[in-house]
Every structure is written in C-alpha cells, then in structure tokens.
Amino acid sequence: MKNVSELTDFYYKNLFPTLEELEIQRKNLRYRIIIVGIIYTFIFMLILSGIPTASQGSGDFFAFALFAYIGLGGVLYKFLTKDYTDEFKIKVIKPLISAIDEKLNYSSSMHVPQKTFERSELFTATVDRLSGNDHVKGYIDGTKLEFSDLHAQKRHRNSKGKESWSTIFKGLFIVAEFNKNFIGKTVVLPDTAQSTFGDLIGGWLQSKNMGRNELVKMDDNEFEKEFVVYSTNQIEARYILSHSLMQRLLTFAKKSKHPVYISFIGDSIHMAIYYDKDLFEPSIFHSLLKYKIAMEYVSTLHLAIGIVDELKLNQKIWSKR
Amino acid sequence: MPTSLIVLIVIAVILVLMYNSLVSKKNQVENIFASVDTVLKKRYDLIPNLVASVGKYMEHEKSLLEKVTKLRSEANKPHISDEQKIKLGAQVSSALGSIMIAVENYPDLKANENVMHLQYSLNEIEEQISAARRAYNQAVTDYNNAIEMIPTNFMARAINYSKKAVFAIVESERKNVNVKELFN
C-alpha cells in the first residue's frame, strides 16, 4: 500500500491536469454562488417586507422565516454544486482510491447499510434516518473492508407535535473482518466520564452505565484513560484486546485526531470516527491545490484503508482462516 | 416510626450491601479461575498430538518432549491445588515455547501442515490463556481492594475473607507476537 507522501505525490503529479481543470470550474462556481446568494437574499427580503407587519410581530414568525431561508438556501446550494461535486468525485476521489488499491470498489452515492450500522451497537439511540455517501468496499491483503461517510439521525417530537432531528453520528464508518474468532460483543468507547470526573467517580459512573454490558477494566493505563470497554465476556474482551492491539488502537485514535468508537461484534471490527462533517466533498471556497485541502482527502482515505495494516488485521496467526 | 428504628434499618441495609458486594467479588474470582482452568486443559489436550507429530523428527529435543508429557500428566492428576495449577501452567508455557523455537531448526517440520495447524492452535490458546489470566488478575485486584479498603475491610475481617494472589505475568507475554520469528 502507498504511504501518505506517495499519495500526496500522486495527487499533485498525476491528478494535476484534472485539478487545474476543476480549479477553473470551481472559480466560476464560486462566482455563481455569490451572485445567486445575493439575488436570493434580496428576493427573500422583498417577499418578507411584502407581508403585513401585523403578522410579523411574533417570534415564531421570525424563526419560521429564518428556517425557510436556510432550508431553501441549502437546496439551492446543493443544486448549484451538484455537477462540480460529481465530477470531483469521479476525477479525484476515485483515482485516489484506485491508487491505494486497484481492486477497491467505489461508489459516490451509496453508503454502509443501516443494518451494519445498527449491528455495531456503537450508538444506542434508535436510528430514524440514515444517509451517507462515498462507499468503498473490497479486500486489502485478503481482509474484507468497507467504509463510507454516514450521518445517523434521531427524530424528536415536542408536546406540540413539532418534529426535530438530532445527530447520533456523523463521520466515517469503517467495518473490517477481524482476525480472531469470538462469540460475544465487545464495545470500546471514548472515555468521557473518567476524563471529566476523575478515576473514582468516573469509574463508578461507567459501571452504572445503563444499556451497556459489563464494564471491563483493562490493564493498560494509557488505554484505560482514553477508552472505556464494555463486554458480554470479561475474558473474551481481553482475548480481543491484547496488549499489542490496545497500543495500536491508541496510535490509531491519536492519528485520527477525532473521537473513535470501536466495537467487535459478529466477525468484524466496526469503527466510527466522529468528524461532524461530510467527508470527501470538494472544496468550493478554497483552492483544490492547497496543501491542507489535499492532505484532508489523502490522509482520511489513507487512515480508513490503512486500518488493515495498522491494526494488523491481515496477520492470520490464529486458527481463524 | 422512631428515629432509632430508621437508623437501624439504614445500617442493616448498608451491611447487607457490603456483604453482597464482597461475595459477588469473591464469586467473580472463582468464576474466572474456572475459565483459566478450562483453557489450560484445552492446551494440555493438544500436547499428545504435538508430541506425536514432532517426536519423529526431533531427536535432539527428546528430553524437552518428555518434560512436557510429564508436566501434562501431573496437571491431569485429580485434587491439585489452584497454586499448583498456576505453577504447572507457567512451566508448560516455557517448555512449549522452547519446543516451538526448536521446530525452526527442522525445515521439514516447519512445512508440515499438521505442525503448522498445531502452531496456529497453540498461538490461539496461549492468547486465550493470557486473556483469562489478565481477567483473573483484574478480578483478584478488585477483590483485594475491597478487602483492604474502608469500609468493606471491616466486613471482610468479620466474615474471614483473606487476600488472594495474582498471576505473575511472564515478561514475554507483554511483548508483541513477532510473526517473522514464527514463520521465517
């Protein structure tokens, strides 16, 4: 597998002609968005001022107007950027993935299925709406791997029956075949209780966490500080989380720079990395040739595809074949 | 209700909770030890098969093989204490380790499918033993903490619970498995 600097080279050398072409499109698009944005705001204000002042008095009206303005604007923005986004994905993201491994399949519109997300048990809230894109699937070194952007949401209704949505998870969701056999369920979550309340109270809170299995205290201080482990089986959790895997997961979490949720269920390892934004989307207000922008695509892809190597999932020294 | 009665009830509830938590910690230790025992047995079951497959080739390591067989028969004796089980387990670990290193000197043996399969199984069982041992140590630590810490230490003294020993972790277990060493 290519490393990050080789991929960056690939981005700037092989993709350069395409990027230049896209750059022209991007600048035109940016101009168009600004113009349309101004006209849209102007028309909106015009309509708003046309409505009799008597009905404008209440706060509810303003909230509704703002909501409509943002909602409509969002639709308009999506419509304007659609062609550019599609082209970017086909011409930049797809070749980047092929450069990492030719046999990986990429689809810009699909995502990891809802049942896989639910199976992971990483988030206990019921998923009412799941969307996502940029689905990558295939084998790395004989190990099955799949990942995509995901956005899971929950529906709320207040006493008046008004609907609202809250985010359960937004970020990168990775599923890979695990190299050891196990039957139980083990979930590793970022440790918020222990880092906020300290060892004693935090530890007590963790053990009282409803809706999760038994708390497993791990014998690696650094790991224990970053994560909290729940499992159906004390021994199996430690069989999966060997000293070396704990170290590798720590390294991975540090590298990702975002909260990482991990679970071992079925025959797979599930990882949810909370970015709180849609990944692999083309930049519109910054140049695609900017190093920071390029690195975001390259390092995120490398992180996701690299887990097989990073966590040594291809190391089949156990009886699981 | 008189205040003294309420105070009495509260004290009784606290005592019951303390007692129950101690008992559950003791049972957790025993449960996990049973699992340690199960995986150790699983490994003992592999030994005859291993000795039979490598015995023909390993002329120079006869004494090593005999040692493992002897340790196995000792471990299979009825009524051995938990401490002895732990001690025998550690001895078997080191003896099996030496055999696996010796296998490296026999190219025929290394390529043998049966031996390779045994190697995989042994690796897995070693990992399971290590996991069980770590779980046991954590359970014992929780139990020992409860016995020594206020206020459960008074209760522990009253019902005569004493500290338990943890497994000594072999230094080599802390290191990563080196696949190159295993297969090259």
Measured torsion, CA atoms of residues B137, B143, B146, B152, in degrees rounded to the nearest 10:
-170
C-beta atoms of B128 and A235 within 8 A: yes
3-state secondary structure A138-176: EEECCEEEEEEEEEEEEEEECCCCCEEEEEEEEEEEEEE
Going from N- to C-terminal start, the domains of chain B cover: 3-183
pLDDT of residue A293: 86
- Chain B residues whose beta carbon lies within 8 Å of the beta carbon of residue A238: 130-132, 134-135
Half-sphere exposure of B165 (CA within 13 A, CB side): 8
pLDDT of residue B179: 46
Reported as a single tens digit per residue, the pLDDT across A65-78 is: 888 888 888 999 98
State the average pLDDT over residues A247-264: 92
Report in angstroms the alpha-carbon separations of A101 from A1, A8, A253, A265, A313.
Answer: 7, 15, 23, 26, 16
Reported as a single tens digit per residue, the pLDDT across A130-142 is: 999 999 999 988 8
Distance of CA A135 to the CA centre of its chain: 11
Q: Which residue has the tokens 């969701």?
A: A173
pTM of the model: 0.83
Ranking A190-199, A225-234, B8-17 by mean pLDDT, the lowest is: A190-199
More confident site: A208 or A225: A225
State the average pLDDT over residues B97-112: 83
ipTM of the complex: 0.77
State the average pLDDT over residues A230-234: 93
pLDDT of residue B122: 86
More confident site: B171 or A23: A23
CA-based torsion, A11, A14, A15, A20: positive or negative: positive
pLDDT of residue A168: 92
Ranking A146-160, B88-102, B139-153, B167-181 by mean pLDDT, the lowest is: B167-181
Mean pLDDT of chain A: 88
Q: Which residue has the tokens 């020594």?
A: B148
* Angle in degrees, CA A221, A227, A231, rounded to 5: 105
- Chain A residues whose beta carbon lies within 8 Å of the beta carbon of residue B49: none
pLDDT of residue A265: 95
pLDDT of residue B184: 41
pLDDT band at B176 (very low <50, low <70, confident <90, very high): very low
Reported as a single tens digit per residue, the pLDDT across B107-138 is: 888 788 888 888 888 888 888 888 998 999 99
pLDDT of residue A57: 59
pLDDT of residue A200: 67
Q: Is the pLDDT of residue B175 over 70?
A: no
Task: Tell me the two tokens of residue A45.
Answer: 């204000």
Of A146, A8, A171, A21, the residue nearest A90 (C-alpha): A21
Task: Tell me the two tokens of residue A297.
Answer: 């695509």
- DSSP 3-state of B56: coil
Contact A108, A90 (CB under 8 A): yes
Reported as a single tens digit per residue, the pLDDT across B136-155 is: 999 999 999 999 988 888 88
Those residues whose C-beta lies under 8 Å from the C-beta of residue B55, and which sit 6 or more positions away, are: B62, B65
Those residues whose C-beta lies under 8 Å from the C-beta of residue A199, and which sit 6 or more positions away, are: none
Q: What's the CATH class of domain B3-183? A: mainly alpha
Any chain B CB within 8 A of the CB of A217? yes
C-beta atoms of A244 and B176 within 8 A: yes
Q: Is the pLDDT of residue A171 over 90?
A: yes
What angle, rounded to 10 degrees, do the helices at B3-55 and B113-148 form? Answer: 160
Rounded-to-integer distance, Cα B160 and Cα B19, Å: 12
Question: Which of A234, A244, A310, A315 is most worth mutating to test chain B (most B CB atoms within 10 A of its CB)?
Answer: A234
Q: Is the pLDDT of residue A201 over 80?
A: no
State the average pLDDT over residues A115-123: 93
> CA nearest A217 in B: which residue?
B138
Reported as a single tens digit per residue, the pLDDT across A84-93 is: 999 999 999 9
Contact A184, A316 (CB under 8 A): no
Contact B90, B52 (CB under 8 A): no
pLDDT of residue B178: 46
Q: Is the pLDDT of residue A47 over 90?
A: no
pLDDT band at A59 (very low <50, low <70, confident <90, very high): low
Half-sphere exposure of A275 (CA within 13 A, CB side): 17
Q: Which residue has the tokens 């080279």?
A: A9
Any chain B CB within 8 A of the CB of A232? no
pLDDT of residue A319: 66
Mean pLDDT of chain B: 83
pLDDT band at A24 (very low <50, low <70, confident <90, very high): very high
Rounded-to-integer distance, Cα B112 and Cα A281, Å: 52
Measured torsion, CA atoms of residues A42, A45, A46, A48, in degrees rounded to the nearest 10:
160
Q: Is the pLDDT of residue A198 over 80?
A: no
More confident site: A54 or B161: B161
Closest-CA distance, B141 to chain A, in angstroms, reads 11
C-beta atoms of B124 and A234 within 8 A: no
Q: Which of residues 160-199 of A touch B (CB under 8 A)?
A: 180
Any chain B CB within 8 A of the CB of A54? no
Q: What percent of chain A has pLDDT over 70?
A: 92
pLDDT of residue A195: 66
Q: Which residue has the tokens 């092989």?
A: A14
Q: Is the pLDDT of residue B181 over 60?
A: no
Q: Which residue has the tokens 């791997």?
A: A145
Q: Which residue has the tokens 């499992």?
A: A231
- What is the helix (H) or strand (E) element at residue A185, kind and residue range? none
Q: What percent of chain A has pLDDT over 90?
A: 45
Report in angstroms the alpha-carbon separations of B120 from A97, A158, B6.
Answer: 34, 57, 62
C-beta atoms of A243 and B174 within 8 A: yes
